[in-house]
A and B are shown apart, each in its own frame.
Chain A
Amino acid sequence: MSLNRRNILTGAAAAASAAMLPRVAMGADSVKLGSILDTSGIFDAYGTPMDMAMRLAVNEINAAGGLLGRQVEVVAYDTQSDMALYTQYGQRLTRQDQVDVVHGGILSASREAIRQTMRKTRTLYFYNVLYEGGVCDRNIFINGVTPAQQVEALVPYAMGKSGKAVYILAADYNYGQITARWIQKFVADNGGDAVGVDFFPLDVSDFGSTIAKIQTVGPDLVIAPLVGGAHLSFFRQWAAAGMKDRIPLASTTMGVGNEHKVLTPEEGNGIMVAYNYSQELDTPANNAFKERWSAAHGDSSLIHEIAVSNYQGVMTWAEAVRQAGSLDREAVIAALESDLSIDGPAGTVTVDPKTHHAVLDVHIMEVKDQGMRVIETLPQRQPIDTQAVCDLQANPDDNTQYEIQI
C-alpha cells in the first residue's frame, strides 16, 4: 500500500521535474496508464501481484522504446478493498489525471462501480480478471475466463470424480450470485443436482455451522466460489473438521490469489480448479516470464492467475496502440477488434471482436503440494456465454451486464 502512494508521489515528482526539462530531452508527453487495484485490505492477495505484473509490463514496454516513441507513465491508486473508493479514484483518474487507459478493478463489484464512469468519460477500460461473464459494453475489454470457459469445463470433470449431488458455497455479491447460477446450470446439464446453495458475505469467517449443515445434506461434491481473505478460513475449517477426505472440493476462485500457497498441503491437496494460468505450466513463455518477474520483483512464487491476466491485458492494449499508431480511443478499439492477439505467459490471447472478451487456453488442474498440477488442457476456448447474448458489432451502444436466468 505504502509503496503505491509513494510511487504516485515520486511519479508526480518525476513528472514535475520532467516538465522543467526541455521538450527535446523528454521527446514528448508520456502516455498515461491508470491503474486502480486493491493493494491493501482483505483483497490485497489479489491486488498486490496484479500491481507488480502491471509494473513489469510497463517497464518492459518502456525498455523496448515505449509506445509511439513516448514513455508510459503509471498513475496508480490503492482502493484499500473499499468499493466506495473505486468511484472516487475512478473519477480522479478520468477527470483530474486524464489518463489514456485504465486497467484495474478486481471484484466484480469494483468493476461495476467504475465501468459507467469510464464509459461516460470515454476512457478505454481493461478489466483483467476472471469473472461471471455477460458484460456487454464497447468501452471495456475483458481477458479473464468466463463461466463458459471455466465452469463448463470444471463441473463435468469434478462430478466425474465424485458424484451427482453438488453443494454450492458462494460469495455474496454479483460474482458469487451469478457464478452460482452458472454452476447450477452446468450441474443440471451434466445430469446432476444442486442440493444446496449458500451465500456468504465477504467478511464471514466462521463456517462451523455451515460445515455441519453440509454434512446433514450429504452431497458428493462441494463447489466453492468463495472470495477474499476471510473466506480462506473455509478451506482451513473444512480440513480441520476432517471433511477433506470425505467430500471432494472444487472451486472457481481458490488459487486465483495463490490461496493454495497459504494453505498447508494437507489443507489444499486435491481441490479441483480450472484456470488460464498456473505457475506449473512448463512452457518456454511461462519460464521466461517467471525469470523476468524474478529479476524485477524477486519472488516469482507471487505470480497468480489474475496477475498474469493483468500483464496480458496491458500487453494487449500496448499491441493495439502500436497497431493503431495512435492513442485515440476509436482507433485503439478498431485495432483491438481486428482479431488482435498476443502470446502471453499463459498462451495465446485473442480479442473476440463481438464481445470484447478473450479467446484463451483453459487448464483443468488439481492442487498438489501447494502447486497446481495440470490435468487437462483445453486450447483456445471461446467465451460462448457472453457471445450468446452480446454482439457489439451489431449493437455498439449496448451497455448491460447480461445475467443467466434459471
Chain B
Amino acid sequence: MDLYVVVLVEVLYGVASLILISAGLAIVFGMIKVINLAHGEFMMMGGYATITAVNLGVNVFVAMLVIAPVAVGLVGLVVERLVIRHLYGRLVDTMLATWGLSLFFIGLATMIFGNTTTGISTPIPGFAIGDYQVNGYNFFIIVAAALLLVAMLSVLKGTRAGLVARGTMQGPEMAAALGYSPDRIYMATFFCGSALSGLAGAILAPLVGLVPTSGGAYIAKAFITVIAGGPSLVAGLLSSASLFGVVNQAFTFATSPVIGEVALLVAAVVLLRILPQGVTGTFFKGKI
C-alpha cells in the first residue's frame, strides 16, 4: 500500500515537473505563436538568479518565488523589445532567432559563472510514508504546479486582463480598434512567459546541479509537451504533461531513467503521428 502511494507521488511529481518546465513556453506559444527556443536558458537563468541570491544571504523561498521570476521576466522584456517584436507572425524566424539567443545566453552564463557545476541544497526535509522515505521537495513541486495551473486558468478566464489578452490573440485589429495596444499586450505576455520560465528554473534548481548548458535538458521536453498539447493552453498542458509524465515514470520504475526518457520521446512521436494537431486539437476543443 505504502509503495503505491510512493509511486503515485513520483508519478505526480513527474507530471508536475513537466507542467512547470512547459508553462512558460506554453503561454508564449499559445498566446502569441512564438516558439521560444531560449526557454531552457530562461530556466537556467532562473536557477542562477536563485543560487546567486541565496549565496548573497537571501531567503531561499524569496529568491525562488520572487527574485528569479522578476529577474528573468525583465530579461524577457529586453529580448522582446530588441528581437522578438520584429518577428511576430514569422514562426520559423522566431525559432531561429530564439535559438540564437539560447546560444548567446549559454555563452554569457559561461563567461559570468564559469562552465562549472553549482547547486544549492533542497530547503525541505524528507519525510516518511509508512516504511518509505520521500523527498519532501517533491510535494513542493506538485503543489507549485497545481497552483500555477489554477492561477493561469483564473487569470485567463476570470480577469479583465486575461479577457483582453485572449481577445488580442484572436483579433489584434479589433482589440486595437477598441483602444487596446496589441504591442503592449504582446510585450506583457512575453514578460509573463519569461517570468514563468524563470520560476520553473528556480524551483527545479535545488534538485539538479546547474551548468550554463542545463537549459538544453529542458527545452526538448517542454517543446514536445507544448506541441503535443495542442491549441488549448491549460487543458493542453495538463493533458500532455499527464500523458508523458505517466509514461516516463512508469518506464523509469520498470527499467531505468534512460528508458523512461526514451519512452517519453517515442510516445511523443507516436502521438504526433496519430494526432498531428495535438491532444486538444482533437479532444477538449474550445477549452482554454
Contact = CB atoms under 8 A, between A and B. Distances in A.
Interface stretch (B55-63, B206-214, B280-288): B206-214
Interface in B228-256: 249, 252-253, 256
A208 B16 CA distance: 13
B252 A209 contact: yes
B238 to A, nearest CB: 21
Contacts of B115: 1, 40-41, 44, 80
A240 B122 contact: yes
B208 A206 contact: yes
Given A229-B117, A229-B209, A236-B119, A243 B126 contact: yes
Contacts of B256: 198-200
Interface string A214-251: 01100000000000111011001101111100100000
Interface of B: 3, 6-7, 10, 13-14, 114-117, 119, 121-122, 124-128, 131-138, 206-209, 211, 217, 249, 252-253, 256-258, 260
Contacts of A228: 117
Given A207-B257, A236-B122, 8 more contacts: A203-B217, A206-B207, A215-B131, A230-B117, A232-B117, A233-B207, A237-B207, A241-B133
Contacts of A203: 217
Interface of A: 1, 40-42, 44-45, 80, 172, 198-201, 203-213, 215-216, 228-230, 232-233, 236-237, 239-243, 246, 262, 264, 267
Contacts of B260: 209
A198 B255 CA distance: 9
Given A200-B257, A240-B135, A205 B10 contact: no
B11 to A, nearest CB: 9
B253 A233 contact: no
Contact of B133 (A1, A172, A243): A243
A239 B137 CA distance: 12
Contact of B6 (A40, A41, A45, A212): A212
A239 to B, nearest CB: 8
B220 to A, nearest CB: 13
B143 to A, nearest CB: 16
Given A233-B119, A264-B121, A209 B133 contact: no
Contact of B10 (A40, A209, A237, A240): A209
A242 B126 contact: yes
Contacts of B119: 232-233, 236, 262
Contacts of A233: 119, 207-209
Given A208-B135, A209-B252, A213-B253, A242 B128 contact: yes
Contacts of A267: 121
Contacts of B124: 240
A241 B126 contact: yes
B224 to A, nearest CB: 17
A303 B217 CA distance: 31
A208 B13 contact: yes
23 contacts: A44-B115, A44-B117, A172-B258, A199-B256, A204-B257, A204-B258, A208-B207, A209-B249, A211-B133, A211-B135, A212-B10, A228-B117, A229-B116, A230-B209, A232-B117, A236-B121, A236-B122, A237-B135, A239-B121, A240-B121, A240-B124, A242-B125, A242-B127
Q: List the 10 shortest-distance A-B pairs measured between CB atoms, nearest first.
A: A229-B117, A242-B126, A40-B115, A205-B208, A241-B126, A241-B135, A240-B122, A242-B133, A209-B252, A229-B209
A260 B191 CA distance: 40
Contacts of A237: 122, 135, 207
Contacts of B217: 203
Contacts of B252: 209-210
Contacts of B125: 240, 242
Given A237-B207, A246-B133, A215 B127 contact: no
